[in-house]
Amino acid sequence: MEHAYAVVMAGGIGSRFWPMSTASYPKQFHDILGTGQSLLQQTVGRLNRICPSERVLIVTSDQYKDLVREQLPDLPEQNILCEPARRNTAPCLAYAVAKILHRDPEAVMVVTPSDSVVTKEDEYERCMREAMAAAQTGDRLLTLGIKPHRPDTGYGYIQYSQERLEDFDNVHKVKTFTEKPDNEHAQMFLESGDFLWNAGIFIWSARSIEKAIGKHMPDLEDAFFGSAAYDTEEELRFIDQVYASCETESIDYGIMEKASNVYVLPAEFGWSDLGTWGSLYEQLDLDAQNNAVVGKKVLMYDSSGNMVRVPKEKTVAIQGLKDLIVVDTPERLLICRKEDEQMIKAFVNDIRIHFGEE
């Protein structure tokens, strides 16, 4: 597609993936799956099936600029958008949309997190192309919804109606967005058949999302749009000034939950947001005792149901463990029950208090 652009959000810290993910080297820059590529590199590789590197933009924290350049050497430097402060996804995307509109008023955009896993890349590409075609033909905002296969409480949900977009039978009108539910509601959502997991993947024309920002978040429109600073030496100074006055807000709450022209394309392409060690466990091959192991020299004895991740060349023997997360890095070690992995963020906060940020 001639006017296709992609925006990758890559500024998060990923504290639930401690000790591998840290403030100075977060999870999107790690080879979490042991494939030889970081999650960011895998994401951009998938997007290059849709648009070339010169039309892929990475939005990240200014402290990660060098990491992005190191991992994506073919990406033009002006396509690395550095946020001076974390303000959630609405300012992040307003920045990207304004810059893309400055380059190409006819642009159609895919927006995606940097740390998702996709196992069926051909189907991913097909869904993206279908959604981009639907976005290009009218004033509408699209999102991809993942068909759920379990009552997961870790994802937000999208409810859709049977109203379909003309000429695009697979694209449905969105009824509601729901935050992460409890177990009872997650089971109800699964059984109803009209709820999808919210993958945080958006598709829209640059003009449509600019119009929505102007209607629902006019302060962002005033701050980011219409400037001549983009792709000039003035851009960094301009963005520093803009972010100093930006409120922290998500694009989901600020736009998607309020707009009336939101549609969803149900999709199944082996997606996981890879937000926790437990979600990584579900992506990996298991041994005969249901252990998931990332590491070349690990021997397991009388152990079952564990998620183990160690440096590739480290020799490790584990005996007598059950249903634990074991993650070893050169400087840090985590051992915790899989069922208690939600406590990892609390562990990280305590470690910061006792031992400092790193």
Task: Note the pLDDT tens digit of each residue in 24-47.
Answer: 999 999 998 888 999 999 999 999
How many domains is the chain partitioned into structurally?
Answer: 2
Examine the domain organization and report whether 13 and 64 are in the same domain: yes
pLDDT at 198 over 80: yes
What's the pTM? 0.93
Decide which of 272, 299, 334 is a domain's last residue.
272
Examine the domain organization and report whether 310 and 238 are in the same domain: no
Confidence at 57, pLDDT banded by 50, 70, 90: very high
Q: What integer is the mean pLDDT of 55-61?
A: 98
User: What is the CA 306 to chain-centroid distance, rounded?
Assistant: 26
Q: What is the pLDDT of residues 248-292, one digit of tens each?
A: 999 999 999 999 999 999 999 999 888 889 889 988 999 999 999
DSSP 8-state class, residue 304: B
Q: What domain range is 346 assigned to?
A: 277-355
Q: Which residues pair with 336 in a beta bridge?
A: 325
pLDDT at 111: 98
CA atoms within 13 A on the CB side of 358: 3
pLDDT at 113: 96
Q: Residue type at 86?
A: R
How many whole angstroms separate alpha carbon 259 and alpha carbon 86? Answer: 24
Decide which of 237, 272, 307 is a domain's last residue.
272
Report CA torsion sign: 84, 87, 89, 91: negative
DSSP 8-state class, residue 247: P
The three-state (H, E, C) secondary structure of 86-113, written as one string = CCCHHHHHHHHHHHHHHHCCCCEEEEEE
How many whole angstroms separate alpha carbon 118 and alpha carbon 37? Answer: 13
Q: Which residues pair with 165 in a beta bridge?
A: 168
Residues ≥6 apart with Cβ < 8 Å to 246: 85, 87, 91, 220, 223
Examine the domain organization and report whether 260 and 287 are in the same domain: no
CA atoms within 13 A on the CB side of 187: 3
Confidence at 90, pLDDT banded by 50, 70, 90: very high
Examine the domain organization and report whether 126 and 214 are in the same domain: yes
Examine the domain organization and report whether 310 and 287 are in the same domain: yes
Nearest to 311 by CA among 13, 39, 19: 19
Q: What is the pLDDT of residues 295-310, one digit of tens each?
A: 999 999 999 999 999 9
Decide which of 248, 272, 296 is a domain's last residue.
272
Examine the domain organization and report whether 16 and 143 are in the same domain: yes
Peptide bond into 218 cis (omega under 30): no
Q: What is the pLDDT of residues 109-168, one digit of tens each?
A: 999 999 999 999 999 999 999 999 999 999 999 999 999 988 888 889 999 999 999 899
pLDDT at 358: 65
Q: Is 327 exposed, middle or buried (0-12, 13-18, 19+ CB in 10 A)?
A: buried
Examine the domain organization and report whether 255 and 345 are in the same domain: no
